[in-house]
Structure 1
Amino acid sequence: MPTLAQLRELQSIAQAGLTYTRDDYDKGRYVRLLALTAELLAGQTGQDAATVSGLLRVEQGYLTPKVDVRAVVLNAAGEVLLTCERADGLWSLPGGWADPGESPREIAVREVREETGREVRAVRLLAVLDKDKHPHPPDLWAVYKLFVLCEPAGPDAAHPVNTETTDSGWFSLDALPPLSPGRNLPEQVRRAVNLALNPGLGVDVD
């Protein structure tokens, strides 16, 4: 059985081929290669094959990793801000997919506001991690995770009604709630806080 990395490489070859070839026969071959890749990816990730095939067909152009931006917000007591994900009932650093037209700083600030109701100021980059190099559950996409240190820029706020999260709060590192493993791992949260408190450590990069 091919590995997830090998399947993503096949997806990249098929997608690039569909983007750049001008030969109709080659296009047919790349379409078939992409369909076979989708079937195998569905088996690896536990997702429905038709859903995976549809997602891959939407992707166009040269294949690159998706970008997930996570905000690391600390209060005066050294506690970290986490939010409870509606999708799985587990907790994570505020954040989500990067949107075109916004910088990582802007994304971090917006995600904290939308998911927790708090206003923050983005300060600096803490880490750039390759999701595949950490023990997350298998993911359809290759993902780079950006961890951005943010400072509170206003009073604490009540959790807002929104479609993505159900609660938010401050947690000490020795009392973290169950974390959403597809989004962040306990060791990543602890490392991010350590990097935030110790600027001399620089930026972690996989």
Structure 2
Amino acid sequence: MSYKWLEWAKKIQALSQSGLSFSNDIYDIERYEELRKISSEIMEQYTDLEMEKITGLFTNETGYQTPKVDIRGAVFTDDKILMVRENSDDKWSLPGGFCDIGLSPSENIMKEVKEESGYDVTAKKLVALLDMNQHSHPPQPYHYYKIFIQCELTGGQADTGLETKDVRFFSENNLPKLSTGRNTEEQINMLFDYFRNPNKASIFD
């Protein structure tokens, strides 16, 4: 889903961040700071975020800006998929989160599933690498790439983590209310399709 105002705000933010990171000219720095302020004002105008929150999000970033990487695990048993209920919005998502530095994608998703659901898994297949801007996620201040990895359940038991309040398996025709910033119904359906058709090639974009 495309939001032109969000696309413009993020592009302005990325340009200003790169300029502030690499410019030594005081006048250029002033211009880049003004661009960052404009991007923050756009975000404030069209979202429910307060300027202080937006400024904190943007000013904490340094260096050349690149997409952030979010990883989600697809864990199946009895034709049902594992989901966790998020503390932050009381909605459901696949276990996962931001990739940690120093860990591979497989290591990241196995860690995330364990921490958020209590289950032990082994990463088996990269199902998809998607650009969130090409899917029906709500507008967000950053640009994300989303990695979906199919995992095999190997042990453990349902147990909530610091960021989750419930752990359950759901059938495809009985999905709960989804945390759409993290995953969409279309993406969950995609994962069921790959579960039923394990020889399908991975997809991207």
TM-score (norm 2): 0.94
Q: Whose strand proportion is higher, 1 or 2?
A: 2
Do 2:5 and 2:42's aligned partners in 1 also have CA atoms closer than 8 Å?
no
Aligned to 1:25: 27
Instruction: Show structure 1 runs of 5+ residues with no match.
Output: none
Count of aligned pairs between the two proteins? 203
Deviation at residue 120 of structure 1 after TM alignment: 0.3
2:64 and 2:196 mapped to 1: Cα distance? 38
SS in 2 for 1:72: strand
The reply on whether 1:163 has 2:162 as its aligned counterpart is yes
2:158 and 2:75 mapped to 1: Cα distance? 16
Q: 1:37 to 1:172 in 2, by over 3 A?
A: same
Q: 1:127 to 1:2 in 2, by over 3 A?
A: closer
The reply on whether 1:117 has 2:106 as its aligned counterpart is no
Deviation at residue 197 of structure 1 after TM alignment: 3.0
Deviation at residue 17 of structure 1 after TM alignment: 0.8
The reply on whether 1:194 has 2:196 as its aligned counterpart is no
Deviation at residue 2 of structure 1 after TM alignment: 5.6
Aligned to 1:143: 144
Do 1:39 and 1:53's aligned partners in 2 also have CA atoms closer than 8 Å?
no
Aligned to 2:7: 5
Cα deviations across residues 170-190 of structure 1 (Å, max 9, x unaligned)?
A: 111011111111111111111
Do 1:38 and 1:52's aligned partners in 2 also have CA atoms closer than 8 Å?
yes
Residues 1-206 of structure 1 correspond to what in structure 2 (within 5 A)? Answer: 3-75=5-77, 77-155=78-156, 157-160=157-160, 162-206=161-205
Instruction: Show structure 2 runs of 5+ residues with no match.
Output: none
1:44 and 1:194 mapped to 2: Cα distance? 36
Q: 1:117 to 1:2 in 2, by over 3 A?
A: closer
TM-score (norm 1): 0.94
